[in-house]
């Protein structure tokens, strides 16, 4: 956010009323360097989900996901994508971003389905309760490993 932009003026005016709208907070959130930390924090939250917490624990982890994904990661990602596209390639940069996200989501979902089909060759109904709990944890751990690995690459 350049200092003379409209959003900067709005944030400057609103920062007097609430610390959530402080310019420093939003400039920190828009910093691409925060991407690694937010991805690692998201992977840590996934480890908490793998422990099968109660409803309150799930709500707390989902709230943390909102902070780590939406506030920190997405702000920096959109900022970098905007800069990457330049003045005349915005559509291409956002198209590549969304296409890559969709491809990665399809690959991870397919691997998750493959893990379930391999783990339950005679069917889900015939599996024991212990087996039914172990496979989702393995899928969650795998997704966390991908998230943490991307955090290393970013």
Whether the model pTM is above 0.85: no
Measured between its terminal Cα atoms, the distance across the chain in Å is 22
pLDDT of the residue at 74: 82
pLDDT, position 38: 84
The structural domains of the chain, with segments of one domain joined by +, span: 1-30, 34-153
Q: Work out the percent of the chain whose per-residue pLDDT is above 90.
A: 21
Of 4-13, 43-52, 86-95, 116-125, the range with the lowest mean pLDDT is: 4-13
Own/partner pairs, 139-142, CB within 8 angstroms, 24+ separation: 139/112, 139/115, 140/46, 140/49, 140/50, 141/46, 141/47, 141/50, 142/108, 142/111, 142/112, 142/115
**What is the spatial distance between Cα 74 and Cα 138, in angstroms, rounded to a whole number?**
26
């Amino acid at each position: 956010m350049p200092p003379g932009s409209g959003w900067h003026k709005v944030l400057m005016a609103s920062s007097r009323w609430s610390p959530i709208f402080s310019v420093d907070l939003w400039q920190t959130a828009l910093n691409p360097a925060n991407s690694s930390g937010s991805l690692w924090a998201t992977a840590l939250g996934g480890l908490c989900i793998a422990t099968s917490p109660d409803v309150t624990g799930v709500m707390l982890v989902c709230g943390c996901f909102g902070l780590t994904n939406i506030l920190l990661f997405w702000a920096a990602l959109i900022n970098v994508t905007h800069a990457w596209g330049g003045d005349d390639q915005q559509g291409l940069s956002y198209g590549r971003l969304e296409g890559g996200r969709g491809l990665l989501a399809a690959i991870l979902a397919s691997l998750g389905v493959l893990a379930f089909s391999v783990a339950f060759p005679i069917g889900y109904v015939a599996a024991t309760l212990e087996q039914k709990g172990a496979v989702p944890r393995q899928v969650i751990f795998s997704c966390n490993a991908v998230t943490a690995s991307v955090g290393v690459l970013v």
